[in-house]
């Protein structure tokens, strides 16, 4: 049996406790991020009538070549004419891009990350009014010697439906500057490392659409978030 097959989770609950206050807007501090873009985004499950959810990522980010640190602003918005109902935003990193922290959000346990990802956070957006948006400051690191991707699904609070998913979409540069203090990366660009063997990039993780969410209960009140996945990493088995 393939370890990559989708496993339906019925009645199981993984709760990540956190004490955090939901934020209205916490933009990442980065002057060179440029306008937000929905590049790499697509609708998945049909949203309720009058609800139109989407996300935005910056057109460009800057990575410190010494610390590998970078800041990314992730925005969810409702361009519809009716309130969204209770929804959550997931911020998931792949390959050389690792999500370190998203204030106001709960870290997804390693065993519940989608296959191929290395990190992720679940953000309880709540009921997003028509025409409203909410932004989150994403602290991350980026290994410029590798490719790096990020994914932003917008789901019902219980994860049973995914209304929108941006990514996994890459950040990268085709003109690396290893001796510069920072490397600018562009959204939707596969990274070309400056290191030797730059022609062969490590490529891991699923392509295109990830099947997010399965059956589960509603997101708990402030202080806890329930996380469910229809696709989980295979359990480690002792020899």
Diameter of the chain measured on Cα atoms: 56
| Across 162-171, average pLDDT | 97
CB 231 within 8 Å of CB 6: yes
| Across 96-107, average pLDDT | 98
Inter-CA distances, 36 with 57, 99, 222, Å? 5, 19, 28
Residue 6 inside a domain? The answer is: no
Number of domains comprising the chain: 1
Residue 237 inside a domain? The answer is: no
Residues whose CB falls within 8 Å of the CB of residue 164, separated by 6 or more in sequence, listed in order: 41, 42, 43, 44, 47, 53, 54, 55, 153, 154
Residue 109 inside a domain? The answer is: yes
Residue 62 inside a domain? The answer is: yes
Inter-CA distances, 224 with 16, 30, 132, 180, 214, Å? 6, 30, 24, 42, 18
| Across 186-197, average pLDDT | 82
**pLDDT tens figures, 131-151:** 999 999 999 999 999 999 999
Q: What is the pLDDT of residue 211?
A: 44
> Is pLDDT at 225 greater than 90 in this prediction?
no
Inter-CA distances, 47 with 74, 159, 162, 178, 193, Å? 20, 13, 9, 44, 39
Residue 232 inside a domain? The answer is: no
Residue 115 inside a domain? The answer is: yes
Residue 128 inside a domain? The answer is: yes
Residue 57 inside a domain? The answer is: yes
**pLDDT tens figures, 32-60:** 577 899 999 999 999 999 999 999 999 99
Average pLDDT, rounded, for the chain = 77
Q: How far apart are CA 211 and CA 202, in angstroms?
A: 23
Domain that holds residue 77: 19-227
């Amino acid at each position: 049996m393939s370890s990559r097959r989708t496993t339906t989770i019925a009645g199981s609950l993984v709760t990540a406790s956190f004490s955090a206050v939901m934020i209205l807007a916490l933009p990442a501090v980065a002057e060179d991020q440029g306008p937000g873009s929905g590049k790499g985004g697509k609708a998945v499950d049909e949203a309720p009538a009058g609800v139109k959810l989407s996300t935005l990522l910056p057109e460009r980010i800057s990575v410190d070549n010494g610390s590998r640190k970078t800041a990314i602003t992730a925005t969810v918005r409702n361009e519809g004419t009716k309130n969204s109902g209770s929804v959550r935003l997931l911020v998931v990193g792949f390959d050389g891009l690792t999500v370190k922290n998203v204030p106001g959000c709960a870290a997804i346990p390693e065993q519940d990350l989608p296959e191929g990802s290395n990190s992720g956070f679940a953000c309880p957006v709540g009921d997003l009014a028509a025409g409203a948006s909410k932004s989150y400051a994403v602290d991350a690191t980026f290994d410029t010697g590798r490719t790096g991707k990020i994914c932003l699904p917008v789901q019902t609070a219980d994860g049973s439906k995914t209304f929108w998913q941006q990514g996994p979409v890459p950040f990268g540069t085709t003109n690396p500057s290893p001796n510069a203090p920072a490397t600018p990366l562009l959204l939707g660009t596969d990274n070309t490392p400056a290191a030797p063997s730059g022609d062969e990039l490590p490529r891991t993780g699923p392509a295109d659409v990830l099947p997010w969410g399965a059956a589960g209960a509603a997101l708990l009140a402030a202080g806890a978030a329930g996380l469910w996945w229809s696709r989980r990493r295979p359990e480690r088995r002792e020899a």
